[in-house]
Amino acid sequence: MKPINKLQSGYMVLIATLMMGTSGISQSVDTDDLESWTSIGLKYKLNKKWSFTLEEQLRLDENISEISKYFTELDAEYSISKSFDIGGGLRYIRNNDNEGNIQGYENHLRFHVDATYKHKINAFSLKYRLRYQNKNELGVDNSEGDYANQNIRFKTSVEYDFKNWKLDPEFSAEIFNHFEEGDDNGFSKYRFTLGTDYKIKEYGKIGLFYRMEKELNVDLPETTHIIGFKYTYTIKNSQK
């Protein structure tokens, strides 16, 4: 038998490494998903302090092959100062439950309250948002095992302003702290988002983003890759 030279040995190590990597991918494929989030919104600026937004959104999951949910959301925001805003929102959700013995669309109601602080450092715009949200299924009470799904979320984002460039990139990171009666509580997932917006004069603003979301503190954490598209048209109050 001929001795194995260094080249053959390296080749065998490479093949073994690729096989191990492929094995790891095959084990994690069931915990990965690709989603798309598409939204259209109408924003009304009442004055320098108040603004309201009505949004419709459709989300697809299972590698963008099935409807995950669609919802209507109404938001209000009040500017306390140039740097500090507070706000809240109400969301009516039609959630597609396609698991278990009883499947079909469920009705959920979610509300949230926000506090946001923002400032600039040279060409960087930084923003920090603290959110409390509460979601519950309509028509199902505590005796049937339905309890409010609550989260405390903290999000920080940074945008860089390029001169003579309309597609300024924005990166954000967000962490979720989940608490619900009868459930495992604590940090449940995090998100990283990279996106940009483009303003079309007199026609609104379109946005594109890529988002990665991963579960925490579970045996088989699911990683979700999200491709998003949004369009918002803004109306300003003409009265002074």
Decide: 167 and 191 in contact? Cβ < 8 Å. Answer: no
More confident residue, 235 or 15: 235
The model's pLDDT over 147-172, given as tens digits with 9 standing for 90+, comes to 889 999 999 999 999 998 999 999 99
Q: What would the two tokens of residue 46 be?
A: 């009442």
First to last CA, the chain: 93
Res 47: pLDDT: 93
Confidence of residue 76 (pLDDT cuts 50, 70, 90): very high
- DSSP E strands in the chain: the ranges are 32-45, 50-61, 66-79, 84-97, 104-121, 124-137, 149-160, 169-179, 186-200, 204-215, 223-236
Question: What pLDDT, on a 0 to 100 scale, did the predictor assign at position 140?
Answer: 83
Nearest partner of 173 among 194, 188, 152, judged by Cα: 194
Q: So what's the pLDDT on residue 26? A: 39
For the stretch 118-132, pLDDT in tens is: 999 999 999 999 999
Question: Beta-carbon neighbour count of residue 189 at 10 Å?
Answer: 21
Per-residue pLDDT, 22: 43
> Is 91 strand, coil or helix?
strand
